[in-house]
Every structure is written in C-alpha cells, then in structure tokens.
Structure 1
Amino acid sequence: MSDDLQPLSPEEGVEMYLDLREGDVSETTLMNHGYRLNPFLDFCEEHDIDNLNDVTGRTLYKYYSYKKGAIKPVTLDNYLTTLRVALDLWADIDAVEEGLREKVPLPNLKPQDDVRDRVLRGDRAKEILNGLDTFNYASRDHVIMLILWHTGMRTGSIYSLDVDDYDPEEPCLKLRHRPEEGTPLKNEENGERDVSLSHPVAAVIDDYLAKNHYEVTDEYGREPLISSSQGRLSKGAYRTSIYAVTRPCEWGACPHAEVDPDDCRPADRRDKASRCPSTVSPHDIRRGAITESLNDGVPVEIVSERMNVSVDVLDKHYDKRTHRERMEVRRRVLREVR
C-alpha cells in the first residue's frame, strides 16, 4: 500500500461514486450501478477489507474468481465494468493506486452471452406461490410475486402502480407513464396499457389492501399500490423481496448439498438472499411468465401486447420454451382446428 493513499471504507467509496454519477446518468442507471457494486461490498465484508487502500490486483483477481461461475458471464462483465469505473474515481481521490482499474479481469463473452436464459419455470413458480398462499397469504411479498408472475410486467411497471390504478371490478391494473411524478414506464406512452387479472389474483390484492397495505402517500400525493411505512416501495426492495421468496429453502429442501444451512448467509439473512445460486431476479420471472403464456397457447401477438415487448425481442430474449414444449403447443392447436 502506498503511503500517499488516504483511507476510505468500501461503503463510503461506493456512496461517493454514486453521488458523483448522480445527475450524469438516469435514476435507473444509477440504481443499476449501485446494484452491480453491492457484490463487491459483500466480498469486502467477507474478506475483512475495511479500507480501499488495501485493494490490489490480487484482490481483484480473487473477487473475479469469487463471482465467476456463480453468475452469468454477461452479468459478471457488467459488475466488473462498473467496478472499473468506480476504481477510476477512487484513484482520483487517492483511495486506490492509480491504474488499478486495468488489473480488473473481464470474462471473455461469446456472441450468445447477451441472450440471457435464466428463467423461472412454471412448476417452481406454482410451488413458490403455493407457499406464499399458505404461510404468507396477502403479504406484500405474496402480492409482488403474484402480480409479476401473472402479468409478466417489469419491476418499473409494478413500481409505478397506485391504488387508483387497480380496478377490482374489472379486475385489471392500469399502467400509465408519469415521468414528472417519478414513475416513468420503460417504453413511455407506448408502454401504457390495461392488464387484466383473474378473480383469484384480484382477491389476494383485495385482502392485501384490506389487511397489510400501508395507507401512505408519496411526495406527489399519490397512494402507491405496493407500499412501505415510508411511502412507495423502492425498486431495490422489490428485488430483495423476489430474491427472498425464490430461495428454495423457503419452501423445501436446499438443492446445494455442500451448504451447511447453519452457515448459509443467503438462507439466514433476507438482505443476502441474492447470493443464493438458485434464487431468481424479477426479470427471470418476466421471462418465465412470457414462456408460460406461450406454453399455454396464447398467441404471440397477445403476449407481446400484454407484456409490452416486441415480437422480435420476445422471440430472441424471452421465449425459453424447449423444442418439445413448442411441439406440444402445436399439437394442441392442430387438435382444435381439425
């Protein structure tokens, strides 16, 4: 460690990095940068690194090895690319050695690596929802998982919903683009739509609103559908919720035989659930919901409109059916027309 470096904790370093980027990038991008740096903070905590001055090329190699194999190459590339940018800032403020960013290993991505194939399958989604229905009925976790699975909407879409956007009579959810009030939709006005709900799903939402919903308003005077005691639930909290409920040990046996449950931090701590290799993200649920709809024989054009994704993008990134599943759908359609 150089004598010219000034002490800075990893947590303070990440906070300073995010403060510096605020205003230069969108709120969503800034949130993504924070999310990509969280695993590095976990690594530092596990390895007793409480001063960025102590980070060396060997440290970065260990971090690369720590994450390699646990996540997809494209995700690892995103994490490390963001870390390289952060290291630039930390070098500028004398927290790490100049040029340390060049020592960050990057994975060799193949052309197909940008097509993400992690997906929540229908049988596992049903197991999770059955568990929530039995043990956490009409809880916030239950409603989040239920809406994401049955509508396939993005996290930004469920985040935008107010109580007034829920129509219990139809029943449906109304998605509207409101950037001036902090809830833009990804495709702006083109993302606006009404999404139908089944009556059983609506019944759970009704019970959540009656029993477990915080009746609060956000800074714009709107009453969010999914709320915390502080107001509109943060997007990060949605991810935490999904990581927590999709841990296999929540509803059954752990599939990782080498893991001692007493020493498993993802099992023991909700805020570490994302580190379980079998947990899934909200976007994996979206892929699963789209795939399940296609398996059910819903025409691709209907899925495209309901999930707000073009047919081309749906085919490349979201349709995760096997060849056998596609054959079974064709078989059912052919039976109906003959």
Structure 2
Amino acid sequence: MSEQEQRDADTADVPPWAAAAVDGFARHLALERGRSAHTVRAYRSDLASLFTHAARQGVDGLDVLDLGLLRSWLGAQTDTGAARSSLARRAAAVRTFCRWAVREGLLDTDPSVRLRAPRRDRTLPAVLREPQMSAVLTRAADAATPEHPATLRDTAILELLYATGVRVGELTALDIDDIDAERRTLRVLGKGNKERTVPYGVPAARALDTWLVSGRPALAREGSGPALFLGARGGRLDQRRVRDIVHRATAADGRGPSAGPHALRHTAATHLLDGGADLRAVQELLGHSSLATTQIYTHVSVERLRASYRQAHPRA
C-alpha cells in the first residue's frame, strides 16, 4: 500500500468537513513532533471516531464542536465497554488536536480545556515466572529446525524479546545492520524516534545467528530489503504475526492463558530487577522517558515477595 493509499484508508471514516484538518494534524505530528507512523495512525483513528460521532449528532463543521459533544462522545464509548485506558488515551488525543486547531485558526476557542476522562487503571503487568519463561524458550529451541526456517525465526524472536525487553514495533523495525554481533547489542529506534543501544545475552545471540545463517536466506526474496525478520512471502514481518507467534508459544503447555509480546517485556524487566539490576539501567534498557514508568516493575517484585511471605511464614 502506497503512502497516499494508507492516508486514504486512515481517513476513510472521517466526514468530508473534517478530513483536511485531520490530514493537517497528522502532518504536524509526523513532521514537527516526530511521532511514529503507528502513533499517527492511532490519532487518526481516535479523531475519525470523534468526527463520525459528531456527524451523527448533526454537526457539519469544526466550529460547532463544544465540550458537550466531546463528553457525549466519551460517554458513548463508555456505554460500549471501552476500557479506562482507552478513554484516557482518546481524550488526550482530542485535547492535542484541539490545541493545534486553535493555533492554526481552525477553532476560535478550545472546547477540550475542561474535558476529563477516567483515570487509567493502575494495574500490575502480567509476567511469567522464570521456570515458565525457560520452558517457553526450551520448547521453541527444541522445535527449531533448518527444514522449517520459520521455527528458527520464531525462536530468535522469543529469545530477543525476553533478552532485551524491546517493544513489538521496535522488534519488527529492526534491520540486519542494527545488530552488533561482536558486542551483542541492538540499535533500537523507540518512541519519539529516540535511538538506544540494547544488549542481549548468549542464548539470544545463538538463536539470532542460527536464524541469519540457516533461516533467513530461505525466506528472503528480491524485495526483502534489510529487514531482520521476514514473513513467509519474504516481506518484513508485521506486528500481528509476532503477537501470534508469542501467544502460541506461551500457550503451548496449556497451563494458563497465553501471553503477548508486551508480557515478555514486563517479564524481562521484572526478572532484571529481581536479579538486582539498577532501576535506572532498566529504564534505559526499556526506553522509558520517565523513571516513574519503570517503577511499576518494582511493585511486581514486592507483590511476589509478599505472596512468598504469606505462603512460607508461619505467622503471615
């Protein structure tokens, strides 16, 4: 799909009177604020939802937007079961859009100034225990054979996600040149186009080398380019396929619900802290802009300690 076709698809549900504003805002996010293509698409989707709701209410222009309409939009999503985190993100997207629209002269006043959304749920991230994670990786390695190159790829993916804690989008964006095999590090482009260097261990290095030598050449095609991980047709592996790979691998023993790539990110961070890693080192590894985001993993460790205490202490 071309860049223009992607833009057309992203704004397919936007009423005509709002389409130009959404396009202008998307260019602002991408070119002036350096937001990733994934983030820009998410903002487009949120705005399409808002303006579709507005059109159903009889609105036919940006200048008619008001606080009541924004609140009714969030209320309609609440009625359909949207999570608090989703509502908070969508409200933030609309506030950002409205501030931009005022600066551009598309709105006289900002109707989102007093818009409030429910606070995000502060839930502890799901993590796999060390024996569980070890079993997942062992099963993957045992099933990996050169006769089935995708199995070598999947093993390398699982090892790298656990070894580095990278986001699934960061993993799929990796190119071969982003690997420094001698130093065992990856060059990762994270949120806000911030680049960081992430180390990985010996098991991940072995799995990665096996994939590059015995697996990737079998899937590579003329148009594969430098992508590190390839799909069955030789193109860059997409995020949805990685999620399928991880869910299938973590559900293989049937002992509990499957986990996705983000759970492996949580697992890597928690195991590092359990092993004595410095919180700021984990922050750097994960690419968090704020230490407060990383601190949630210390809560996971404390909860695990409390659970062990309750189970083992006679006077717990």
**TM-score normalised by the shorter chain: which range applies?**
0.5 to 0.7
Q: Distance in 2 between matches of 1:33 and 1:240?
A: 25
1:186 matched residue in structure 2? 191
1:131 matched residue in structure 2? 139
1:246 aligns with 2:225: no
Q: Which amino acid aligns with 2:243?
A: R
Deviations along 1:16-40, whole A, 9 cap, x unmatched? 7764469565631476699x9xxxx
C-alpha displacement at 1:136, in angstroms?
A: 2.8
Deviations along 1:200-227, whole A, 9 cap, x unmatched? 2211111111122133476xx8411111
1:205 matched residue in structure 2? 208
| 1:159–1:235 contact (8 Å) kept in structure 2 | yes
Residues 86, 128 of structure 1: alpha-carbon distance in 2 compared, 3 angstrom cutoff: farther
Q: TM-score, normalised by structure 1?
A: 0.55
1:231 matched residue in structure 2? 235
Q: 1:320 aligns with which of 300, 303, 308?
A: 300
| 2:124–2:299 contact (8 Å) kept in structure 1 | no
Specify the SS of the correspondent of 1:320: helix
Paired positions, count? 226
Q: 2:121 aligns with which of 113, 118, 123?
A: 113
| 2:13–2:48 contact (8 Å) kept in structure 1 | no
1:196 aligns with 2:175: no
| 1:165–1:173 contact (8 Å) kept in structure 2 | yes
C-alpha displacement at 1:89, in angstroms?
A: 8.8
Q: TM-score, normalised by structure 2?
A: 0.58
Residues 86, 119 of structure 1: alpha-carbon distance in 2 compared, 3 angstrom cutoff: farther
1:161 matched residue in structure 2? 174
Q: 1:171 aligns with which of 181, 184, 187?
A: 184
C-alpha displacement at 1:253, in angstroms?
A: 3.5
Deviations along 1:109-165, whole A, 9 cap, x unmatched? 585724353233322211111110111355222111110101111112212211111
| 2:159–2:203 contact (8 Å) kept in structure 1 | no
Gaps of 5+ in 2: 1-7, 15-21, 27-35, 58-71, 85-117, 146-150, 309-316
2:291 matched residue in structure 1? 311
Gaps of 5+ in 1: 1-14, 37-80, 93-98, 178-184, 256-277, 329-338
Q: Distance in 2 between matches of 1:187 and 1:217?
A: 31
List structure 1 segments (4+ residues) > 6 angstroms apart after TM superposition. 15-18, 81-84
Residues 113, 206 of structure 1: alpha-carbon distance in 2 compared, 3 angstrom cutoff: same
Q: Which amino acid aligns with 2:132?
A: R
| 1:161–1:224 contact (8 Å) kept in structure 2 | yes
| 2:13–2:52 contact (8 Å) kept in structure 1 | no
Q: Distance in 2 between matches of 1:152 and 1:296?
A: 15
Q: Distance in 1 between matches of 2:291 and 2:162?
A: 20
1:152 aligns with 2:131: no
C-alpha displacement at 1:83, in angstroms?
A: 11
